[in-house]
Structure 1
Amino acid sequence: MNALNPVMWSVHVGFAVLWTGGVLFVALAVLPPALRGEIDGSALGSIVDRLRWITRIAAVAFLASGGHMAGTLYTFDSLTGSARGHLVLTMIALWFLITGLVEVGSGKLTSGLDAGKLREPARDAKPFFYGAAGLSVALIITAGLLASPTLF
């Protein structure tokens, strides 16, 4: 076993927990009060800006750690020809989709906040953050399936 593997797994899982938790927090705990106009615009902007930075930093961490894990655990044939490989490819697709949704939703929200608005940009960003939250749950389920040694 490569001594670097536990480090890469820890980095990967740590950023996954931070990132998916942040997406779910913004979608479920921050966005609803923004839609009702019950949160300060600068606080909302700060939270969304932090999520955007976590998303970007996590992308680098996922590329490094996931790339290492894929390179040491899988071949092209095992990624494309096995159930476990399909789960890895599903996770990669979900990661790209969630990242895109967070970026678009954050952009819509911050540009509206910069214009001095709150409810309208929150409403415009809502489908993107809710979509990212739903896909985050799918990502967590996929990771759980991949981590289960008895399923595959």
Structure 2
Amino acid sequence: MDVINPVMWSVHVGFAILWVGSVLFVTLAVLPPALRGDVGSDALGSVVGRLRWITRIAAVAFVLSGGHMAGTLYTFEALTGTPRGHLVLTMLGLWFVGTGLVEVAGSKLADGLDAGKLREPARDAKPFLYGASAVSVGLIVTAGLLASPTMI
């Protein structure tokens, strides 16, 4: 029995759930009180730090697990010439964009918090967190399409 494939799928999906949930949580539950100044800067700094670490650790997990899955399930021609391959490449592109948006938002928040500010860095990070949230929803939709045997 091949054990590595289910392990890779589990790692990939588990980190996807963790990352998407973390991005949406910070955007929907943490950012609004930060914009109002209702969150302590230490608490916000801790949440932002954890989001950045989750993003970075997930990046490693996605490269390893996604690389394994792509390498065992697709040829270059299948990735570039089939609808399923296009969905895989779409996921890769969305993930790169989402990771970048989280890193920019986290940097804006961390820099502002280090300067003793709260509302201004939250405002500066807001469009990047909104963008990362939209991208994360796009990733879930794309994953759903890939998982659907009748769709493609």
**Which amino acid is the alignment partner of residue 93 of structure 2?**
A
Write out aligned runs for 1:92-111 (5 A): 92-111=92-111
**1:65, 1:111 → 2: CA distance?**
32
Deviation, 1:78, is 0.3
Q: What's 1:17 paired with?
A: 17
**1:92, 1:122 → 2: CA distance?**
28
Deviation, 1:119, is 0.2
Deviation, 1:3, is 2.4
Deviation, 1:2, is 3.5
**1:76, 1:9 → 2: CA distance?**
20
Superposed CA RMSD in Å reads 0.8
**Which amino acid is the alignment partner of residue 42 of structure 1?**
D
Q: What's 2:67 paired with?
A: 67
Deviation, 1:139, is 0.5
Residue 83 of structure 2 corresponds to residue 83 of structure 1: yes
Deviation, 1:106, is 0.2
Deviation, 1:73, is 0.1
Q: What's 2:36 paired with?
A: 36
Q: What's 2:8 paired with?
A: 8
* Superposition TM-score, scaled by structure 2 size: 0.98
5+ residue gaps, structure 2, are: none
Q: What's 1:122 paired with?
A: 122
**1:29, 1:86 → 2: CA distance?**
33
5+ residue gaps, structure 1, are: none
Moved over 2 A (4+): none
**2:119, 2:22 → 1: CA distance?**
21
**2:73, 2:151 → 1: CA distance?**
17
**2:115, 2:37 → 1: CA distance?**
15
- Size of the aligned set, in residue pairs, is 152
Task: Spell out, residue by residue over 1:68-95, the C-alpha distance to the aligned partner (whole angstroms, 9 max, x if none).
Answer: 0000000000000000000000000000
**Which amino acid is the alignment partner of residue 69 of structure 1?**
M
**1:44, 1:106 → 2: CA distance?**
10
Deviation, 1:114, is 0.5
* Superposition TM-score, scaled by structure 1 size: 0.98
Q: What's 1:48 paired with?
A: 48
Calculate percent identity across the aligned residue pairs: 76
**1:42, 1:146 → 2: CA distance?**
40
Q: What's 1:26 paired with?
A: 26
Deviation, 1:43, is 0.3
**1:21, 1:10 → 2: CA distance?**
16
**2:132, 2:96 → 1: CA distance?**
10
